Every structure is written in structure tokens, then in C-alpha cells.
Structure 1
């Protein structure tokens, strides 16, 4: 059972989405109760309806974003899982015709799998700590399987962050600065 602290005296709670690739590239894992400082970008009102942000009001940007960081205490973490319909490309099973190629020629081949998000098929898993790597959370139907088949992947973490309850303060201002 994941630890959750949802009562904050004189503090405001905000929901922040931390995408898997942002964590895997340049992120530092964190735990419930830990103080963090992140560059946050506000979720655009047009983006809230697509479900990608899971109701978050901001997302972590490790590759740019505001110059200042929002500092707050982590109160809850949920790993976000997305279900996908996986489509198989039969051309990936065909043998490559390499006889006519010069040595050193680069040949690029598809993986044979294309993933399409299943609308409304996201789930939240409460955890005590955010993982550094999300690949361990992938689940895939095993052969024999029908096409398309289902793949469930972790796509990030939805974090409840406690920040100072000051609408004009650095925490909220950072979330609204693009």
C-alpha cells in the first residue's frame, strides 16, 4: 500500500505529470514525503481534454521550460499505465534482401509493431517511490495472439505536490509560465 499525505496546512496541492521519458533521460527518482524542485510548464487548456495529462495542471520539463524551479513536497505518486492496441507489420518478418548491397550499407527495418493508445484505457497505480525506468511495467499479450493485440505500458507518474498556498508565489507562477 502506497503512503499518501493529502492534508496540507497553509499549503496548496497541485497535480503534476512526470512523463516516463523525462524521468528516464534526466530525472532523479523521488519518494512520497521528499522535497523536490522541478521546472514546471502549465498544461494548456486545449490539452486537458485529450487525457494525456491525467488531470494534472502542470508537467515536468527537464529540457527547457521556466528558468526557476517550483519547490514542493511530494504527497502522493501514481504510476500511470496506458493500454495500447499493437498492430503487427508482416513485412518485419520477411527476410532482408542484402545480397545486392555494398558492405557497410545501413539497412533500417521496422520493429513490426505499431502502438495505438486505447481511448479511456489509463489506470493509476499508487506507489511510494517514482521509478527511474518504466520498462519493467510493460505487459504484453503472449503468443499465440490475435492482431491487434494489447500492450500495457507505464507512461509516467502523476504526482500530488504540496506547494506554498500563494497564488502569486514562485510555485504557482512557475506552473503558469511557459
Structure 2
């Protein structure tokens, strides 16, 4: 079964291990609400996200899944303080995503003009020896 997994940039930078297509990884997967990713990648792509990879705060008894990585795509987007906001927290600007297919992921990405690296969209296949 093929799944699409969101991997946050900060999780990889903190304690993630590099991965590339063809690698078998052992990840803790949490189900997601695709709408949580709509501003980052657009509603159409967000609808296809099945899980996020989580290094921190795993639930007790939650076993890692064994996955073969098929593709890795960097996601970059613009961030701004939303119009009318009284705070200073920047949010992804809908429709600003730039997707870059890459040969490997290490948590860091080459800077792109006008956008910031947000994370990876990873397609993967569950392996026979994993949950």
C-alpha cells in the first residue's frame, strides 16, 4: 500500500535521519487532517496526505511503521502575518507553494527566492516486515 507522509523540516533538523528513494525507514506515523496542510501545499495535494512523521511525543504502544521511500519532494512557501491579524505569527500564504523533487532529504534545503523551506512530501510503500 502506498502512502503520502508529511515530514516537517524542524523534525528532520532536530533529530531526523537522512533518507532517499529506495531507503527503508522506520517512522512513527500519525494520522492527519489534510486541511491542516492546505495552506502549505494547496487543497488538492493536501487531500492526498495520509500521515505525518513524528519524532516527538509518540503515544505509548505506538509502533513505528516500516516504509520504503519512493519519492521525496521539498515544499517551500511564502509566510506572512495574515491580514487583520493582531499577532505577529506568520502563516503559510495559500497558493505560494513551490515543490522541488529531490534525490535525498537531510532536513535542509537550498534557499529559494521569496519562499522558505517547510518540509517534505514523501510517497512510500509499507514493507512486508513492518506494521
- Interval containing the TM-score (normalised by the shorter chain): 0.7 to 0.9
Instruction: Encode CA deviations 1:63-104: one digit per residue, 9 max, x unaligned.
Output: 1224310101000000011122479xxxxxxxxxxxxxxxxx
Question: Which structure is larger by alpha-carbon Rg, 1 or 2?
Answer: 1
Q: Distance in 2 between matches of 1:43 and 1:86?
A: 24
Q: Let me know the Cα RMSD of the aligned residues.
A: 2.4
Q: Distance in 2 between matches of 1:116 and 1:59?
A: 19
Which residue of the partner structure matches residue 97 of structure 2? Answer: 122
Q: Distance in 1 between matches of 2:111 and 2:124?
A: 23
Which residue of the partner structure matches residue 92 of structure 1? Answer: none
Structure 1: unaligned runs, 5 residues or longer: 1-11, 88-112, 140-150, 171-178
Instruction: Encode CA deviations 1:97-142: one digit per residue, 9 max, x unaligned.
Output: xxxxxxxxxxxxxxxx9644211211211111013324x4353xxx
Which residue of the partner structure matches residue 49 of structure 1? Answer: 35
Q: Distance in 1 between matches of 2:105 and 2:111?
A: 12
Which residue of the partner structure matches residue 12 of structure 2? Answer: 23
Instruction: State yes or no: 1:84 paired with 2:79.
Output: yes
Which residue of the partner structure matches residue 56 of structure 2? Answer: 63
* Residues 1:77 and 1:84: Cα distance change in structure 2 (over 3 Å): same
Instruction: State yes or no: 1:154 paired with 2:117.
Output: yes
* Residues 1:155 and 1:163: Cα distance change in structure 2 (over 3 Å): same
Q: Distance in 2 between matches of 1:25 and 1:58?
A: 19
Verify the 8 A CA contact 2:22 2:70 in the aligned structure 1: yes
- Number of positions where the alignment pairs a residue of Structure 1 with one of Structure 2: 116
Which residue of the partner structure matches residue 85 of structure 2? Answer: none
Pick from 20, 29, 38: which aligns with 2:27? 38
Q: Distance in 2 between matches of 1:32 and 1:39?
A: 18
Q: Distance in 2 between matches of 1:115 and 1:138?
A: 18
